[in-house]
Structure 1
Amino acid sequence: MNKNILLFLLLPLWAWAQLPTQTTTSGLGNNRPQFGNEKDLTVEGEKPPITDYLIISQDRDTTFVDTTLTMAKDYKYNYLRRDDFELMPFHNIGRPYNSLGRNFDFDLLSPRMGARARHFNYIEIEDVLDYHVPTPLTELYFKTVVNQGQQLDALFTTNVSPGLNFSLSYKGLRSAGNYVNTLTSTGNFKFTTNYVSKNQRYRLRLHTVFQDNSNQENGGLDPESLEGFVTGNEDLQDRGRLEPNLTDATSFLEGKRYYLNHDYEIIGDKDSTSYYSARIYNTAFYEDKLYRFEESTASNSFLGDSYVSSSLRDQTDLEQGAIEAGITYDHYILGYFKAGIVRQEYNYGYNRT
């Protein structure tokens, strides 16, 4: 049984105070974090409260860094960094999961890449978080893996000024696994920036993400090894000696995305009893991803007859981009409304007949 080593640091790197206590609210439409003026910086030498370290979702729901030690944190101490209650993992870290629940996305307007089993660790637009912190913040996650390798998730974020924040993060994994040809190697790099003007009217957020996911594929155990493993053959107790169906096959998922979202408040007011705001907004993104399967020698006995006998390379490409513009209206009684137009293009297919 592998020993798990927890290194989870939420630690300011240096005493660089930048903004005062902030108020936060929650909700899709009525959330508008209030950031202080530069003249109201925290007092030198005074440690800011943890509630000043804000985490902002794509829906602008705002929470703050949670440093409590609870059982919920233990459930999130895994490769996905979230509770995987409905997911049944494979034999090695970083591989697909069997989903035991079903989530429906009715807002999807374009086709997605078919290799969804490889997307459990893929950072989508809605997975990107922004930050607003009074001092630089670092978060490190480390854990051992199966057989050989390590997994690491590192985040650094800071506010250059009270209204301008950026963050850098990298998540990497390399795990050999216990079976032949099951090596997993992944990398996720993310850069985010968000800006709010002094008068709170203009807001900007952008991010860039580069991701790759490589999995050796063994196709499971061949019939002889499977029978020996089930019957408890002493010669096959070492899982590294079991023969798989595939010995030189690998799958790749790679993607990059550039995203921009900004808006400007044309009318708005907020006091202790009421709130309303109308904003014009613009959103644009471009994403390019591919899924590729490679095999040095065709496994005709397992996968069927192949057109070529060696150097197999099947690749699917997806290019997608969109530009959206419109207006939003948020009222403390009427609710949240959004209207706009969007142009979206995608190119999805194979480079063959």
Structure 2
Amino acid sequence: MYFMKNNILIIILFFLTVSANSQIIRPEKGDSFYKADSTRSNKEIKVILSDKTKYTDYKVISASNDTTFIDTTLTIQKDYKLNYTRKDDFELLPFHNQGQTYNKLGYNFENNSIFPEMGITAKRYNYKTIEDIKYYYVPTPTTELSYRTGLEQGQMLDALLTMNFSKQTNISIAYKGLRSLGKYRNSLASHGNFRTTFNYSSKNSKYFLRGHFSSFDFLNNENGGLTATSIENFESGNTNYVERARLDVNYTNGSNMFEGKRYYFDHNYTLISKNTTLQQQNDSLKTQFAKRNRYNTTIKRLKIDTLNLASNQAKIDSLTFLATAITADSSMFKDVIASKEVSLKIGHSFQYETKHYRFYQTNNSITSGFYGNAHSSEIEDHTSFQKLDNQLFAEFKSPIIGKLKASLNYFDYNYHYNSVIFEDNNNLAIQNKIKGNAIGFGADWITNYKNFFITANASTIVSGNITGSSLKASAYIKKDSIFSFKGYAEFTTKTPQLNTQLYQSDYVDYNWSNNFKNEDITNIGVEFKSNKWGNLKASYNLVDNYTYFNENSTPTQASETLNYIKVKASKAISYGKFTLDNTVMYQKVAKGESFFNVPEIVTRNSLFYTDYLFKGDPLFLQTGVTLKYFTKFNAGAYNPLLSEFTLQNDTEIGNYPILDLFVNAQIRRTRLYFKVENFTASFTGRDYYAAPSYPYRDLTVRFGLVWNFFI
């Protein structure tokens, strides 16, 4: 964590240096995008803008080329995302300290990869996949800082700086550092997450290149949860243990570390195009703003212009429009097909990634330890994983057939340990690696007729050491700004995650080598979205050969088919300056209850008040209370040695309210967050757990902010 501690300060100082030595000089019409001025100091940067700059010029581009903008508004959805993952955690239950893992309240069987993954799923919540990486296009250097206090000692800071060197080239650099001591013994979380991106387009818009580098290191001290005696003292409300560090835990000498790096780039070139100009990215913002303009509201402002803050300017009020409605549905076109456009494009993408997982425990008992007998008193388990993915593709686009893409993948993987295990008779018992390669073929098709869109995707492994295939299809219809409806289906067969097939440890009982069957996953669902009537999503999931960790923390494949139904609905109801935002999820395990546990009902309801304060409306206030509740169920047991959740059917958690009081405010481009978490803890009973033996957090006061500034 030396890198994290020292570089947070360096990054902040760098941002302040850029800010202090830069200025905007408004252009005359006809000036170029950037223009140097030799009469000024070398420490000054003269930025010439081609025209009046608006907040919609500050674009955020996803991995799938959906384009939105840097949104500086304050909505209830922003409050839901103010956690260390910076994602809505409705279907997750956090442990007491930020930077620790989450328990699952719901499962998602969509968008499965046919290539194998390492596993270590309890450590992946702060990990950024290729799909999580964002690219940018900004007319002036832009910064975002996100801050949140930790528990006892520490905080989380996520800092981003992005700038365009020209209209064709953009870079970004970001770092998220987290350190939080926690309330219980040996529960420190110390995370670092670095990423940098670049993207380039040629002046004739025929060639595009983008890429990123990402590295991370997630260190957590582990304690195995509370002892049986400590659980009794916790639940009884014994005042001698209000200071949670007084409660005994199962051990205080363990820690695990998950770290890795990824190198990625993709580029493409348009060989043939009948249009004189080509569209660089799919910018669905025009459609979104047209929808907003049709939205009937009496709110004073529709949207903050982050560069021109006039007092009578329009801005979003979260009472009437949710910020999440800005993004386009991914089932729609990634590139708008013009009526006369016919094009042929070729491209290539490359990624190389390394991951390492380690579990340490010092001065451990060789016999009768928490995890059983051990080969050594010094536990140093180390699992390594490397993968390489090379893809070539060709894409044809026409107004008749739509967009058709064919791809060829070469995938190489190496999951390994530094030793092999022999039986007493010197026969090989457990190998030290799973290594191989695979060649895959894929095809994508997207087309539309007016407001009706169809997408299809097929991929299969045609040769190699593993097998797998996937078939996805969706149909999407959109009725202006009134509603949208999508039906989809996905059929996937894939290799189970690699740590279920091979694992080595200094603990005797945590060594195995399995030859599992492929998991067969069927996912069928519908999704309805409407600003007027709310949102609804329902899915029906079937999984054959479902792979999980049983009560003994040993990987097992289910002999019966998992049949899982999930329905989630959300709707915000407003009256005057008050809003009730509701999200409810219903789940049913029709078959497979012996190995798959979820709560039947999960609900989150926020009642809040919003208004502008003081003369000239300089401050936008949002204050209220959020209730989260889920019915009792046999939640997964957390195993820190594996960084996985295992099956247990002895202890139920749930059926307790989590009430958070919040006061949020926006001043220009800064959002301030003040929250009292679980403020009813002292009088609703001490039976709140995130997992068996792991209590949820007590009453906690948090402060956070998100600050965007544009040079």
* TM-score normalised to structure 1 length: 0.86
Other-structure match for 1:345? 412
Other-structure match for 2:392? 325
Other-structure match for 1:290? 356
Taking the aligned partners of 1:43 and 1:166, their CA distance within structure 2 comes to 18
For 2:55, the aligned partner's letter is I
Gap runs ≥5 in structure 2: 1-14, 35-46, 278-337, 421-711
SS in 2 for 1:94: coil
Asked if the contact 1:15/1:135 (under 8 Å) is kept, the reply is no
For 1:291, the aligned partner's letter is Y
Matches within 5 A, 1:149-168: 149-168=154-173
Taking the aligned partners of 1:247 and 1:137, their CA distance within structure 2 comes to 43
Asked if the contact 2:31/2:50 (under 8 Å) is kept, the reply is no
More off after superposition, 180-189 vs 289-298: 289-298
* Aligned mate of 1:68, from 69, 73, 77: 73
Other-structure match for 1:257? 262
Taking the aligned partners of 2:410 and 2:25, their CA distance within structure 1 comes to 42
SS in 2 for 1:301: coil
Q: How far is the alpha carbon of 1:144 from its aligned partner?
A: 0.5
SS in 2 for 1:161: coil
Matches within 5 A, 1:156-235: 156-235=161-240
User: For 1:240-291, what per-residue CA distance to the aligned partner results, in whole angstroms no more than 9, with x for missing partners?
Assistant: 1111101010000001010010000111244864434321001111100111
Number of equivalent positions? 327
For the pair shown, which has the larger CA radius of gyration, 1 or 2? 2
Q: How far is the alpha carbon of 1:47 from its aligned partner?
A: 5.0
Taking the aligned partners of 2:65 and 2:118, their CA distance within structure 1 comes to 27
User: For 1:172-227, what per-residue CA distance to the aligned partner results, in whole angstroms no more than 9, with x for missing partners?
Assistant: 00000000000000000001000010000000001001101000010001122122
Taking the aligned partners of 1:302 and 1:92, their CA distance within structure 2 comes to 22
SS in 2 for 1:287: strand
Taking the aligned partners of 1:321 and 1:109, their CA distance within structure 2 comes to 14
Q: Name the CA shift for 1:274/1:173 in 2 (closer, same or farther; >3 Å).
A: same
Other-structure match for 1:97? 102
Q: Name the CA shift for 1:288/1:60 in 2 (closer, same or farther; >3 Å).
A: same
SS in 2 for 1:172: strand
SS in 2 for 1:346: strand
For 1:303, the aligned partner's letter is Y
Q: How far is the alpha carbon of 1:128 from its aligned partner?
A: 0.6
SS in 2 for 1:225: helix
Other-structure match for 1:29? none
RMSD of aligned residue pairs (Cα, Å): 2.6
Q: How far is the alpha carbon of 1:121 from its aligned partner?
A: 0.7
Taking the aligned partners of 2:375 and 2:151, their CA distance within structure 1 comes to 36
* Aligned mate of 1:305, from 373, 381, 389: 373
Q: Name the CA shift for 1:193/1:57 in 2 (closer, same or farther; >3 Å).
A: same
For 2:354, the aligned partner's letter is D
SS in 1 for 2:113: coil
SS in 1 for 2:370: helix
| Structure 1 residue 108 corresponds to structure 2 residue 174 | no
Asked if the contact 1:17/1:134 (under 8 Å) is kept, the reply is no
Taking the aligned partners of 1:107 and 1:338, their CA distance within structure 2 comes to 19
Asked if the contact 1:207/1:258 (under 8 Å) is kept, the reply is yes
For 1:297, the aligned partner's letter is N
For 1:281, the aligned partner's letter is G
Q: Name the CA shift for 1:228/1:44 in 2 (closer, same or farther; >3 Å).
A: closer
SS in 2 for 1:316: strand
For 1:219, the aligned partner's letter is G
* TM-score normalised to structure 2 length: 0.44
Other-structure match for 2:381? 314
Taking the aligned partners of 1:195 and 1:82, their CA distance within structure 2 comes to 28
Taking the aligned partners of 1:98 and 1:304, their CA distance within structure 2 comes to 24
Taking the aligned partners of 1:76 and 1:341, their CA distance within structure 2 comes to 37
SS in 1 for 2:183: coil
Asked if the contact 1:268/1:278 (under 8 Å) is kept, the reply is yes
More off after superposition, 340-349 vs 125-134: 340-349
SS in 1 for 2:378: strand
Matches within 5 A, 1:117-132: 117-132=122-137
Asked if the contact 1:50/1:64 (under 8 Å) is kept, the reply is yes
For 1:283, the aligned partner's letter is S
Taking the aligned partners of 1:144 and 1:341, their CA distance within structure 2 comes to 46
Asked if the contact 2:270/2:343 (under 8 Å) is kept, the reply is yes
Q: Name the CA shift for 1:275/1:64 in 2 (closer, same or farther; >3 Å).
A: farther
For 1:328, the aligned partner's letter is E
For 2:384, the aligned partner's letter is D
Gap runs ≥5 in structure 1: 1-9, 20-36
Other-structure match for 1:22? none
Q: Name the CA shift for 1:104/1:275 in 2 (closer, same or farther; >3 Å).
A: farther
Q: Name the CA shift for 1:46/1:337 in 2 (closer, same or farther; >3 Å).
A: closer
Asked if the contact 2:62/2:133 (under 8 Å) is kept, the reply is yes
Taking the aligned partners of 1:311 and 1:305, their CA distance within structure 2 comes to 12
Asked if the contact 1:16/1:136 (under 8 Å) is kept, the reply is no
Asked if the contact 1:18/1:159 (under 8 Å) is kept, the reply is no
SS in 1 for 2:119: coil
SS in 2 for 1:58: coil
Asked if the contact 1:277/1:329 (under 8 Å) is kept, the reply is yes
| Structure 1 residue 78 corresponds to structure 2 residue 83 | yes
For 2:102, the aligned partner's letter is Y
For 1:125, the aligned partner's letter is I
Q: Name the CA shift for 1:269/1:53 in 2 (closer, same or farther; >3 Å).
A: farther
Q: Name the CA shift for 1:40/1:152 in 2 (closer, same or farther; >3 Å).
A: closer
Asked if the contact 1:17/1:135 (under 8 Å) is kept, the reply is no
Q: How far is the alpha carbon of 1:38 from its aligned partner?
A: 8.6
User: For 1:10-38, what per-residue CA distance to the aligned partner results, in whole angstroms no more than 9, with x for missing partners?
Assistant: 9994445899xxxxxxxxxxxxxxxxx99
SS in 1 for 2:230: helix
For 2:370, the aligned partner's letter is F
Taking the aligned partners of 1:305 and 1:52, their CA distance within structure 2 comes to 61
SS in 2 for 1:179: coil
SS in 2 for 1:303: coil
Q: Name the CA shift for 1:76/1:277 in 2 (closer, same or farther; >3 Å).
A: farther
* Percent pairwise identity: 44
